Chains A and B, each alone.
Chain A
Amino acid sequence: MKMADKSESSTNSDTPTNQDELILAQQRKIQQEISDTIPLVGPLDQISSLESEYSTDTIYLAKIKDLSSKYKSIRRTRPDGNCFFRAFGYAYIEKLLDDKEQFSLFYDLVEKSKNSLVALGFPQFTVEDFYDTFMEVLKRINDIDDASDAKKELHNLFNEQGYSDYMVVYLRLLTSGQLQKEQIFYSFFIDGERTVADFCHQEVEPMYKESDHIHIMGACSVLLTGVRVVYMDRGGNTSVTEHNIPQDRLTPDVYLLYRPGHYDILYL
């Protein structure tokens, strides 16, 4: 009798959870359908192209005007939760291609980074594929003499999902490693009782997790660069707000436009 009860009620108790999973699966599918129509990294567009997204919103239109007085163009990225890392990686490498010397310093830094990650406790075995892909991309563009051809190749590789996603994973791992290495400092930026390691395992290392200020700090710090984030939302006045990371670095290598939930690349 007891067994009969069991099998009957457990069928019932499974139903609501299965529903939840179905809803999650559907949400994922819808998000995927939206994001698949947008290239991983798009072409250069005029800042004014943003206007069509906000044609009836006077606050945004005023801010776009302000933005276009400071920046010349925008390059959109796919809103899949990886946009910060994809935009950051693309824009930084693109900038380095204008300066062979800087590029080769960066190359050396990344080349040595796998051992640092392994020393921090990352399993060599699972880090390797992402590292190898990152190095392969750097090698391929480094082998091209002409900077504008190299940039074209960078653009192609960043739009090939296999390469692009593995680049993103490796940037996530480097960032995670940096946060954990400096965990006392970064623990002040984490709400609640999570440790820096827990935060990294849950918010930095997994794909599709959106990035916050702390991710940008970690990424800039490990790759010795600076980012300027230009915030554009419906709050405040008619101008966009700019913020340098790290704060004391006044000449950033990368400019990103942040609209709530999403990063795109900006060009001066």
Chain B
Amino acid sequence: MAGSAVRRLLAEYKQLTLNPPEGIIAGPIDEDNFFEWEALITGPEGTCFEGGVFPAKLIFPRDYPLSPPKMQFTCEMFHPNIYSDGRVCISILHAPGDDPMGYESSAERWSPVQSVEKILLSVVSMLAEPNDESGANVDAAKMWRENRDEFNKIAERIVRRTLGIPA
């Protein structure tokens, strides 16, 4: 089983290297272990995360792609759909029925025809358009709704920090 997971991850890595989606780099941290990847995601233009480069880890299960990977930002993040420890909480990272946040029924879910690229693109859209109804970080969701200026300020500080610019 792990053999087919590695074969698939290798194919996805190749694909992502040959045709990288804009603003995304991803691949195994160590080519001896295809089950742990690092990704760098550029904050989408025209959003409060613009200009930031956000590092994240992806951990794949042995039965990938039957089950989805887990994803966690390794930099500081403040976002309605990201836990304070960096774990990303969006529907595509969950199989249907596995539903910690009660996603909308139309939300995109994990299935074996999804891919790392699809996940990363969903994460970019999530950065651009937080879903404040499924709050992994309730405070961020509340601030996004009620005090956008303050939210933008925090986001800007996080962006500067990812670039190593003192706040």
Contacts and interface: CB of A to CB of B under 8 A. Distances in A.
Contacts, number: 91
A10 interface: yes
A95 to B, nearest CB: 26
Contacts of B139: 5-6, 9-10, 13
Interface in A151-201: 161-162, 165-166, 169, 173, 192-194, 198, 201
A6 B139 CA distance: 6
Interface residues of B, number: 37
Contacts of B113: 122-123, 126-127, 173, 205
B138 interface: yes
B84 A169 contact: no
- Interface size band for A: 35 or more
B4 A129 contact: yes
A202 interface: yes
A207 interface: yes
B69 to A, nearest CB: 14
B11 interface: yes
Interface of B: 1, 3-4, 7-8, 11, 15, 63, 65-67, 83-85, 95-98, 100-101, 105-106, 108-115, 135-140, 150
18 contacts: A10-B140, A13-B138, A13-B139, A14-B84, A17-B83, A20-B100, A28-B98, A122-B113, A125-B15, A125-B115, A127-B113, A165-B1, A165-B63, A169-B112, A173-B113, A193-B105, A194-B105, A209-B97
Interface of A: 2, 5-7, 9-11, 13-14, 17, 20-21, 24, 28, 122-123, 125-127, 129-130, 133, 161-162, 165-166, 169, 173, 192-194, 198, 201-203, 205-209
Given A165-B63, A205-B111, A206-B112, 19 more contacts: A9-B139, A13-B135, A13-B139, A14-B84, A20-B100, A21-B100, A126-B112, A126-B114, A165-B66, A192-B105, A193-B105, A194-B106, A198-B106, A201-B108, A201-B109, A205-B112, A206-B96, A207-B95, A209-B95
